[in-house]
């Protein structure tokens, strides 16, 4: 066994093989699909499980996923990150936010498409309850219009979810801010 394989096995008890596709990383092996799905990863499709790029980056970094392209060549972290950057200009802050939330024990799913990046479930509540938080991730110094923030807040409140702003500072650390409507009387 090579040193790289010994390191990978030591880092994670889960070993999944995925194929890089246009929208993410496809996992086809039934046992891997079941394990990942039960842990809150990916979207089940008829021919397997589709991991988002940030899920795949996270699992790749943890040593739980090996990614190959259509030529069956290995795709490393930087290669996958570059592929994701082509699809989404906010790649890095989304990945760092996702990684931070997962490392804190939360199940993190894709947002609702209303400007929300992620839905976050309370620890132990995934599969039993709905997401409690909606996360909007931004980079420190990146302007966000009040109109956009107000629209996202209204949508969050209409869904009975708490809006959280995840701000990545210049050192790559995430600081979370709860966003709520304030009525002064």
pTM (2 decimals)? 0.84
Same fold, 3-87 and 91-179: no
Write the pLDDT tens digit of every residue in 18-39.
999 988 999 999 899 999 998 8
Average pLDDT value for residue range 100-108: 92
The CATH code of the domain at 3-87 is: 3.40.1170.20
User: Rounded CA gap, 113 and 110, in Å?
Assistant: 8
Whether the predicted pLDDT of 149 surpasses 50 = yes
What are the boundaries of each domain within the chain? 3-87, 91-179
Q: Are 136 and 152 in contact (CB under 8 A)?
A: yes
pLDDT in tens, 35-65: 999 888 999 998 899 999 999 999 999 999 9
**CA 100 to CA 43: how far, in whole Å?**
21
Please name the CATH architecture into which domain 91-179 falls: 3-Layer(aba) Sandwich (3.40)
């Amino acid at each position: 066994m090579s040193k790289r394989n010994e390191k990978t096995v030591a880092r994670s008890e889960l070993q999944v093989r995925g194929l890089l596709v246009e929208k993410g990383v496809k996992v086809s092996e039934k046992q891997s699909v079941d394990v990942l799905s039960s842990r809150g990863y990916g979207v089940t499709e008829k021919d397997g499980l589709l991991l988002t790029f940030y899920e795949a980056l996270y699992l790749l970094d943890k040593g739980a996923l090996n990614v190959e392209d259509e030529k069956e060549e290995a795709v490393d972290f930087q290669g996958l990150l570059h592929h994701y950057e082509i699809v989404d200009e906010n790649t890095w802050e989304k990945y760092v936010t996702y990684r931070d939330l997962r490392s804190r024990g939360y199940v993190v799913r894709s947002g609702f498409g209303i400007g929300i990046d992620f839905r976050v479930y309370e620890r132990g509540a995934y599969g039993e309850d709905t997401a409690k938080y909606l996360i909007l991730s931004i980079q420190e110094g990146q302007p966000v219009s009040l109109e956009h923030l107000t629209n996202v807040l209204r949508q969050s409140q209409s869904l009975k979810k708490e809006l959280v702003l995840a701000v990545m500072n210049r050192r790559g650390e995430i600081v979370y801010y709860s966003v709520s409507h304030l009525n002064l009387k």
